Structure 1
Amino acid sequence: MSTPSLPSQVPPHGRTLRSRLIRAGWIAGLPLLAVIAAAAYFGMLRVTERLEREATAIAAATGEGQPEPWLRVSVTGRDLTATGEAPEASQREAAVGRLAAIDGVRRLTDRTGVVEEVSPFVWSVERPAAGRVEATGSRPAEVGAFELAQRLKPALPRDATLNDNARAARGAPRDFPDAAAFAVERLQDLTTGAVATLNDTVISIRGEAASLAAYDALRTALATPPQGYTLGTIEITPPVVGDFRFGVSRRPDGSLELNGHVASESAREEIRAAAAEAAEGAAVDDRLRDARGLPPGIDGPALARFVFQLAGLLHEGRVSFEGEAVSVEGNALDAGAVAEAQTLMRDARPLGIAAGRVALSARPIVPYVLRIRRGSDSVTVSGHLPDRATREALLARLNPRFFRESIQDRTRLAEGAPAALGAAVAAAVDPLSTLASGELTITGTSLRLTGTSLYPESAARLAQSLPKAMPAGWNATVAVTSDAAPSATADLGPCGQRLAERTAGHTLRFAPGSTALAPEFYPVLDAVAALARACPAERIEVVGHLDPAGVKPETQADPVADEAAKETAPKPTKADPKKDAKANKGSKAKAETKQDASKSEPKPEAKSEPKPEKTEAERADAGADLARARALAVVDYLQKAGVPLERAAAPTGVAPLSDRQGIGLSLRS
């Protein structure tokens, strides 16, 4: 008997019924699940609220005896995170222990520390974004984070918030909150990325100025840091402007005005140096504003040189760079300067610079101006001269008198020179050569000599002698000062030391083969004579010098120089007429002695054949005679300057000095 087989699949109507029953069960359980979830959520909220209340209470308790609670706790569900710096390690351990003991805490993250003494005390604020300022480093534990934030809030940039990541520490300098507010306030005038740092009592700031007005405000504010604090590294970059300009204006008096923009302080120094050279002693009015924005491809120094080159052709006017083009306008120095400016604009413009407007006129030169300025290592001649012959004569006169300095000729040729210009210049060059520094200015028929003399006697003498040497129709004024103390003062120390001070750096050296005093001798010998009068117990001894070996005496005459020397040769200051009489008698006696000696010497007979060369001994004797003649010439000058006859002498039997040593002056009791 066979067993019936079971069906292999559930009938379709059975499966449908079963799925319906399961779906109905789930639907019936959803409300229950919602109730369970809600209960869990609200239960967690109650737990979180309870944890926050208890943690806040623990944190608040840490403020007892402190400016504010040092402990800060954040709660996320049942997780706690503790931050802050405890005054003492025991207080930190106690607070962290109480947090860990709160019922229901799942995890406690401890990021607390202990306040320590730090040195140096460094605190920084940075502006990483327009609306955020971040503080790092150390902040004073005795002030508190909240109180410091309140002090800094008014100084923050507009709409910016402070994110304080600094750690409390001891060792802050006095009045730290005031200095911190000063540093934060500077960020208002700087763009994003600016940083201000306090390192103990030194404030440093780095950043880019937001605008020209902000840059000016920063410079004004930094001029007065908080009391007790100093400025350290200040690296503030000028702002970028869209209309970068640079200009030089020349005024009728020769002074220059600088305006426009300059990219850095180093560039400003270079421009001012170039302006001072172009002004040739006149004033320079610097009105440049710090800014960047010079178009790419333009060399700033080359631009400045080109602008000053054009300004050098102006009597009055302006050279300007604007819109990537250079323009020049005004009154040129002369007709030739107009053509020179046009040539420069056409052929010498730096790369990237366009040619702008050239609007120059050449007016008659009134007044006619010539300047000779003596500096430490150069003599600069500028202005106008009537022709090449006058220029060559002037340079020929300057070169031997300023052989240690370089002669820089910047003169231009133009008509309109006053009569006797060459004679007036010739009369004033020698006095200028006796000054330590000075300037000779000719304006029309007026001559003015200014500068500094090494000796007050020389300064007083120039004021009297130069006006008398002027040609007819000319006038001269002298404004020469001296830094030296009056030589008659008795409390300046030993006379020998004072003589060394007056002769130091002023070697008296005669021209080869000559016994004539050079113009630069006069101020030195005047000072020596005044010293001798102030030291009556001392006697001046003068020793002559030889010519350089192998150098022949100068034989070429200089009639212009000789004529000017006659006009300007100074008369030594006489202290006493009786002493002068004695000096004249002494000079006359020496002259008669020389005449008698010349009469007693046999005159050589004229011979047709050439004279034999001198022997070494004869040359040595001739050199010694020349050296002694030079010493006697100096003695004669000193006696005419008021030194008594018996207190100035050229001793015999003393070996002459070398050309390098020059004339020797010494005092003997």
Structure 2
Amino acid sequence: MSAPSLPPSSPPHGAPSRSRLVRAGWLAGLPILLLIAVAAFSLGLSRVSARLERQASAIAAGTGEGQPEPWLRVSVTGRDLTASGEAPEASQREAAVGRLAAIEGVRRLTDRTGVIEEVSPFVWSVERPAADRVETNGSRPAEVGAFELAQRLKPALPRDTTLSDHARAARGAPRDFPDAAAFAVERLQDLTTGAVATLNDTVLSIRGEAASLAAYDALRTALATPPQGYTLGTVEITPPVVADFRFGVTRRPDGSLELNGHVASEGAREEIRAAAAQAAEGAAIDDRLRDARGLPQGVDGPALARFVFKLAALLHEGRVSSDGAVVSVEGNALDQAAVTEAEGLMREARPAGVSAGRVALTARPIVPYVLRIRRGADSVTVSGHLPDQAGREALLARLNPRFFRESIQDRTRLAAGAPTGLTAALAAAVDPLSTLASGELTITGTHLRLTGTSLYPESAARLGRTLPQALPAGWSATVTIASDDKPAVTAESGACGQRLAERTAGHPLRFAPGSTALAPEFYPVLDAVAALARACPGERIEVVGHLDPAGAKPEAQADPVADEAAKETTPKPSKVSAKPESKKDAKSKAAKAEPKEAAKEASKSESKPEKTEAERAEAGADLARARALAVVDYLQKAGVPLERAAAPTGIAPLSDRQGIGFSLRS
């Protein structure tokens, strides 16, 4: 059996406790000692920093003598100094930096000072890198001072933003620079972050994105009147993004167009206006588009605009609208065929990404019936309605030889409802239109309107008298022709003859066998001869016709419109005369019957025996004179006074090889 264990012996009472207390006391006091040391150091450092700041500020303040404000700026971080600013002269800069370096207790001096220089061009820019900050860079006027300029700019700053000035003082600023700078800063209020405005001498450029539609309009209004003495340079302002991007075209009853909705850029606006001008066909265009972005992704803007105008061209009155990527059309179509065309376009010809919306079209009777022929610089456009395909072909057959130098663009549509006498009215009016330098012929119901510019005042006056008289019964006309009445340069008699020879040489005018109709290639020569007549008021132009080649057979000369007009206007024979015929009426009928009788005689002559040589010579002379008279008639229509263009009698006709002859007589 083992002996019982005894407890370990204990150390003397009180020794271990004192040791632990001593160690704990040292540990507890160490942080306190550290805090005291740190406090003493910080207190000493702050006192040193305060002293350095006082001394540095005194040195900086001393640099303001003779300046708008002290040019030296000093920041103190502990015992480190950073100097910035631009001294008027290098010696002043060196002196100020030397005094800063000599301050007792300075550990490090960072020198960022410079010397004011003359700069050209003088460039200053202001940028909005964040919503709450505006920064300036480049050069600012040394004669104004940084603080003063900041005070001038402060009222123009966007709301809740601070100004950070990183510009350097320089000489060479343009006049009234602070006003122009404030104008540039104020424009940033209407722009989003990232916007930049730059003054390059007296040229202001600005780039950025408008914050809203109202801001975009405000910018355009403000930039229209830049500060006095300053001009606009590059202006690249992106329209704002809108959630409800729309585009629409409204056709008014008078044919004019109203453009509304949004357009993504000025380039797009120009393209849309060009398409609108073509669709309006001379009518007014009311542009109410607002610049904005937001067209749905995947939709081609130009293709969408072209599609909208295609639909608008089918409207007499109504609206085509694009709401996002959905296109709708409603209103009164040109005719029933236009309704079908619009439905087909909406079904099969929509651009990629575009959906079909509402189609609500009606086709009312065409009242009034409208046809328009517009002569431009290099084209003739025919639009409106014609009764049938035969009428269309007849009109084009009449237009082509008279406007051989212009392209004929046929945009007519076929529809019933044409007024009685339409073809006869066209036959009377197309020729006058062809004599104008530019013009437009509009038929509305039974009223004809001819407007334009004539090269000759005599021609303008003549059309005003003769066209209304040539229209069928029941029709009325308004003729408004301005003349390009430039003072003619009078030439000497000898010079007139030489110029006439120059203008007709190498361009012989030869009529088709048996014909007295002017060929299209005659017009440039005859226009030149008419212009010469105005420059030679003391001369008379005499015209001599030409014969046909021996054995030539007459060529058929058809005028479909005139033939159709003759059918319309030829009265039906009456069985009973309403009243006795007066002598005056008899003479009138006889005069009207002369062409028919001549035609009958010509028909009879075909069955007669062959003419003798003398008879053939006489017939040839008559044909040659008729040709000369046709040329004289054209010259008179072109403005040559009646007494100054003639086809004299008793002069032998020229040969076919010679063609029409021209000569001057004093």
The change in CA–CA distance for 1:34 and 1:195 in structure 2 (over 3 A counts) is closer
- How far the C-alpha of 1:32 sits from its partner, in A, is 5.3
1:347-392 Cα shifts (integer Å, max 9, x gaps): 1111211111111111111111111111112111111111122112
The change in CA–CA distance for 1:494 and 1:246 in structure 2 (over 3 A counts) is farther
Aligned to 2:284: 283
The change in CA–CA distance for 1:635 and 1:267 in structure 2 (over 3 A counts) is closer
Aligned to 1:403: 404
Aligned to 2:251: 250
1:264-311 Cα shifts (integer Å, max 9, x gaps): 111111111111111111111100000000001111111111111111
Aligned to 1:587: none
Matching of residue 446 in structure 1 with residue 447 in structure 2: yes
Give, in whole Å, the separation in 1 of the partners of 2:207 and 2:255: 40
Aligned to 1:69: 70
Give, in whole Å, the separation in 2 of the partners of 1:215 and 1:146: 32
**Match runs of 1:113-124 below 5 Å:** 113-124=114-125
- How far the C-alpha of 1:120 sits from its partner, in A, is 0.7
Give, in whole Å, the separation in 2 of the partners of 1:249 and 1:373: 22
- Does the residue aligned with 1:66 lie in a helix, a strand or coil? coil
Aligned to 1:356: 357
The change in CA–CA distance for 1:538 and 1:363 in structure 2 (over 3 A counts) is closer
Which ranges in structure 1 are unaligned for 5 or more consecutive residues?
1-10, 568-597, 605-622
- How far the C-alpha of 1:38 sits from its partner, in A, is 2.8
Give, in whole Å, the separation in 2 of the partners of 1:84 and 1:220: 38
TM-score (norm. length: structure 2): 0.81
- How far the C-alpha of 1:23 sits from its partner, in A, is 4.9
- How far the C-alpha of 1:429 sits from its partner, in A, is 0.7
Aligned to 1:518: 518
* Larger deviation, residues 322-331 vs 140-149: 322-331
Aligned to 1:174: 175
Contact kept? 2:546, 2:655, Cα under 8 Å:
no
Aligned to 1:216: 217
* Larger deviation, residues 476-485 vs 267-276: 476-485
- How far the C-alpha of 1:665 sits from its partner, in A, is 5.8
Letter in 2 for 1:153: K
- How far the C-alpha of 1:117 sits from its partner, in A, is 0.7
Give, in whole Å, the separation in 2 of the partners of 1:505 and 1:208: 63
Give, in whole Å, the separation in 1 of the partners of 2:225 and 2:100: 48
Counting aligned pairs with the same residue, the percent is: 75
**Match runs of 1:576-655 below 5 Å:** 601=613, 634=631, 641-643=642-644
1:302-327 Cα shifts (integer Å, max 9, x gaps): 11111111111111111111142111
Contact kept? 1:541, 1:648, Cα under 8 Å:
no
Letter in 1 for 2:46: L
**Match runs of 1:227-626 below 5 Å:** 227-485=228-486, 496=495, 509-513=509-513, 516=516, 518=518, 532=533, 535=536, 537-538=538-539, 540=541, 554-558=555-559, 560-561=561-562, 601=613
Give, in whole Å, the separation in 1 of the partners of 2:290 and 2:243: 14
Give, in whole Å, the separation in 1 of the partners of 2:174 and 2:652: 74
Give, in whole Å, the separation in 1 of the partners of 2:42 and 2:332: 90
Q: Number of matched residues?
A: 602
Give, in whole Å, the separation in 2 of the partners of 1:210 and 1:26: 64
1:14-43 Cα shifts (integer Å, max 9, x gaps): 898666545545656765554443332212
Give, in whole Å, the separation in 2 of the partners of 1:220 and 1:418: 51
**Match runs of 1:68-217 below 5 Å:** 68-217=69-218
Cα RMSD of the aligned pairs, angstroms, is 4.1
The change in CA–CA distance for 1:356 and 1:32 in structure 2 (over 3 A counts) is closer
The change in CA–CA distance for 1:263 and 1:640 in structure 2 (over 3 A counts) is closer
Aligned to 1:580: none
- How far the C-alpha of 1:437 sits from its partner, in A, is 1.1
Contact kept? 1:326, 1:354, Cα under 8 Å:
yes
- Does the residue aligned with 1:298 lie in a helix, a strand or coil? coil
Give, in whole Å, the separation in 1 of the partners of 2:503 and 2:134: 64
The change in CA–CA distance for 1:239 and 1:560 in structure 2 (over 3 A counts) is closer
- Does the residue aligned with 1:278 lie in a helix, a strand or coil? helix
Give, in whole Å, the separation in 2 of the partners of 1:533 and 1:235: 53
- Does the residue aligned with 1:365 lie in a helix, a strand or coil? coil
1:441-500 Cα shifts (integer Å, max 9, x gaps): 00111001111111111111111111111001111111111112365xxx7565758996
Letter in 1 for 2:207: R
Give, in whole Å, the separation in 2 of the partners of 1:651 and 1:227: 77
Letter in 2 for 1:136: N
Give, in whole Å, the separation in 1 of the partners of 2:651 and 2:663: 11
The change in CA–CA distance for 1:424 and 1:405 in structure 2 (over 3 A counts) is same
- Does the residue aligned with 2:351 lie in a helix, a strand or coil? coil
Contact kept? 1:382, 1:409, Cα under 8 Å:
yes
Which ranges in structure 2 are unaligned for 5 or more consecutive residues?
1-10, 569-609
1:80-111 Cα shifts (integer Å, max 9, x gaps): 11000001000000000110111111111111
Aligned to 1:581: none
1:542-561 Cα shifts (integer Å, max 9, x gaps): 6889999xx99743443654
- How far the C-alpha of 1:119 sits from its partner, in A, is 0.7
Letter in 2 for 1:131: D
Letter in 2 for 1:477: T
- Does the residue aligned with 1:117 lie in a helix, a strand or coil? coil
1:407-460 Cα shifts (integer Å, max 9, x gaps): 111111111111111111111111111111111100111001111111111111
Letter in 1 for 2:398: R
The change in CA–CA distance for 1:418 and 1:538 in structure 2 (over 3 A counts) is closer
Give, in whole Å, the separation in 2 of the partners of 1:412 and 1:32: 105
Contact kept? 2:541, 2:645, Cα under 8 Å:
no
Aligned to 1:55: 56
Give, in whole Å, the separation in 1 of the partners of 2:65 and 2:388: 95
Letter in 1 for 2:175: R
Contact kept? 1:544, 1:656, Cα under 8 Å:
no
Contact kept? 1:542, 1:649, Cα under 8 Å:
no
The change in CA–CA distance for 1:416 and 1:15 in structure 2 (over 3 A counts) is same
- How far the C-alpha of 1:165 sits from its partner, in A, is 0.5
Aligned to 2:571: none
Give, in whole Å, the separation in 2 of the partners of 1:497 and 1:16: 142
- Does the residue aligned with 1:315 lie in a helix, a strand or coil? strand
- Does the residue aligned with 2:416 lie in a helix, a strand or coil? coil
1:246-267 Cα shifts (integer Å, max 9, x gaps): 1111011010100000111111
- Does the residue aligned with 1:116 lie in a helix, a strand or coil? coil
Give, in whole Å, the separation in 1 of the partners of 2:276 and 2:503: 35
- How far the C-alpha of 1:525 sits from its partner, in A, is 6.3
